[in-house]
Chains A and B, each alone.
Chain A
Amino acid sequence: MSAAVEAHGIRMTYGSLVAVEDLSFAVGAGEILGVLGPNGAGKTTAIRVLTTILSPTRGTFQVAGVPHTRPAAIRAGIGVLPESAGYPEQQTGEEFLRYYARLYGRSRTSAAAVATALLAEVGLAERARSLVATYSRGMRQRLGIARALVNDPAVVFLDEPTLGLDPAGQRQVLALVRGLARERGATVLLSTHLLAEVEELCTRVLILNRGRVAAEGTVSEIARTAAAPRSARVRVPAERVEDARGALVGAAGVESVEHADGQPGGLVVTFASAGEESGTAAVRALAEAAVPLLAFELEGARLSDAFLAMTGAA
């Protein structure tokens, strides 16, 4: 698979402050790359470099096959939703999109057509002629995503698109992001703090910490490399909890089994070593003991555990 975005040794400084150091990664066409990191990790700076807003102090990159030495050509082929983007309050959603479509060189007719189509795509068709001032935050973010698509970009950069949105708004935005890759075939670089959604949505993850790459790979690759302790939370019917405990204590790879505080039927299982095999053995032991399993969750196998371990943000 050819790389849609490729960065080599990017360094970006603001005076004496190093915002990004030795940033190297690649993401293939049609992939969704989750860019994660605590506040100040360099996510926004990295996106600004890759979208040619900032010139890197050192390093090279290419976006959609265009080298960093041709910033205008890169901008023509990408879509960007900046962090905390503002919107002209006195324009309607339709006028706003038409204007941006014209900035990308579309004719008046084409700009009007693309504005109408995109407003429908992001679910704002009914508010097309309302002033942006009357839009909710979630609607503005969807309008921002529509704006990022006016040039039918090969690569889309979304910097914290769910920031400040309620759960319903977050769902809507993330559904749009999924559609960008699946239906449009665009490569998406998504900076966010919503780890659960990244796990569900992203094909690859890039974790930044203090300007450096802390990890890069698929969600499962990164989760496997996490230094988090491996354990599992089990929930069975309260009247069968002792049966379950007995079955788990004898299972291969299980080090200890404790009652979960304040949870009737809840158990915490600690494995002797990390690895999904131990979890499988524990589930098999419960099945063989005919104990109904209400819930089973491996801890230390989730992206959030890896994130906390790698960024020291626990």
Chain B
Amino acid sequence: MVVAGQELRDLWLGGRALLLTFALSLVLSVVSYLVATNQALNYLEQRESVNLTLQVAVAVGALLALLAAADTISGERERGTLESLLVTPISREQLSAGKLAAALSLWAGAFLVTIPYVWYLGRGIGVVGEALAAGLLVGTLIAVFLASLGVVISTFSRSNRVSLSVSLVLLLALFAPTQFPTSAKQGWAGDLLLRVNPVTAGEHYIGKIVVDAHSWSHDASWLLSPVGGAAVFALAAIGAARSISLRGGSSS
């Protein structure tokens, strides 16, 4: 797809994506060092070290995809390049889909960067393959969900600043429950809160696979909201493309 190809070139050859993935590798290096140290002191099980690192990678990788997505339409609008794109024969849906695909490449890059860290922390206990597979599955679902959300926000935002701010606030709101104390996560209300939020549900699922060594089907119900969120918001991003306007807000 022409739009996706150009966006990928702009993101990766332009250096922005490389810079962000380099920043991710620095974060993962620090996290890996800390968990490896704790592991050596017997404060942390090896599986827990892998889980923690993987969850950070999924969170940051999805954040990168969201940031790229939040710039898609509002960025073109702000740079004055949107009208030139809209007068080409490509449909607005193709435009949004191409930009969404390019934004997701940041998650793909983040996942590739994560592989050596997970391998290093999980080697010798047979968890690396499953951890990477779970991370890829859940991370992709969360990245699709968040990047699609970012595209929707960007479609309707009048400025890039608004788009990025709203996206980050929503991201913080979605990740906040992961930091709740254990007591807040118990009971039916806590359980529901974790399950309906695609981010917390996905990270919970990774934990069950990596730490508790559960089978993939055992906790599959936790994947409902990540799958649903990804599907609904991907469709919403493409559907919202019809409303792309030069001014932002509602279609003019």
B binding-site residues for A, Cβ under 8 Å? 2-3, 6, 10, 14, 79-81, 83-91, 246, 252
Contact = CB atoms under 8 A, between A and B. Distances in A.
A105 B83 contact: no
A110 interface: no
A99 B84 contact: no
Given A78-B87, A82-B80, A104-B88, 17 more contacts: A53-B83, A54-B252, A73-B89, A76-B89, A82-B84, A82-B87, A85-B80, A86-B79, A88-B10, A100-B84, A102-B6, A103-B3, A103-B88, A103-B89, A103-B90, A104-B89, A105-B89
A133 to B, nearest CB: 12
Contact of A99 (B2, B14, B89): B2
A85 B84 contact: yes
A280 interface: no
A11 B160 CA distance: 31
A13 B110 CA distance: 46
Contacts of A85: 80-81, 83-84
B84 to A, nearest CB: 6
Given A14-B252, A99-B2, A103-B2, A86 B80 contact: yes
Interface string A72-111: 1101101010101111101100000001101111000000
Interface in A50-74: 51-54, 72-73
A88 B82 CA distance: 11
Interface of A: 14, 48, 51-54, 72-73, 75-76, 78, 80, 82, 84-88, 90-91, 99-100, 102-105, 144, 147
A82 B83 CA distance: 7
Nearest to B9: A95
A87 to B, nearest CB: 7
A87 B246 contact: no
Given A86-B79, A86-B81, A88-B81, A51 B89 contact: no
A53 B80 contact: no
Contacts of B80: 82, 84-86
A84 B83 CA distance: 10
30 contacts: A48-B83, A48-B246, A51-B87, A53-B86, A53-B246, A72-B89, A72-B91, A73-B89, A76-B89, A80-B83, A80-B84, A80-B87, A82-B80, A82-B83, A82-B84, A82-B87, A85-B80, A85-B84, A86-B79, A86-B80, A88-B79, A90-B10, A90-B14, A99-B2, A99-B6, A100-B84, A102-B2, A102-B6, A103-B85, A105-B89
A4 B85 CA distance: 23
Contacts of B81: 85-88
Nearest to B82: A86
A75 B88 contact: yes
A82 B2 CA distance: 22
Which of A14, A73, A99 neighbours the largest number of chain B CB atoms within 10 Å of its CB?
A: A99
A240 to B, nearest CB: 57
A52 B83 contact: no
B252 to A, nearest CB: 6
A51 B86 CA distance: 9
A117 to B, nearest CB: 19
A75 B6 CA distance: 20
B81 to A, nearest CB: 4
Closest 10 CB pairs of A and B: A86-B80, A82-B83, A76-B89, A80-B87, A103-B88, A86-B79, A86-B81, A102-B2, A75-B89, A99-B6
A82 to B, nearest CB: 4
Contacts of B83: 48, 53, 80, 82, 85
B1 to A, nearest CB: 10
A44 to B, nearest CB: 10
Nearest to A86: B80
Nearest to A98: B6
Contacts of A147: 84
Contacts of B252: 14, 54
Contacts of A102: 2, 6
A84 B252 CA distance: 19
A244 B85 CA distance: 61
A284 to B, nearest CB: 53
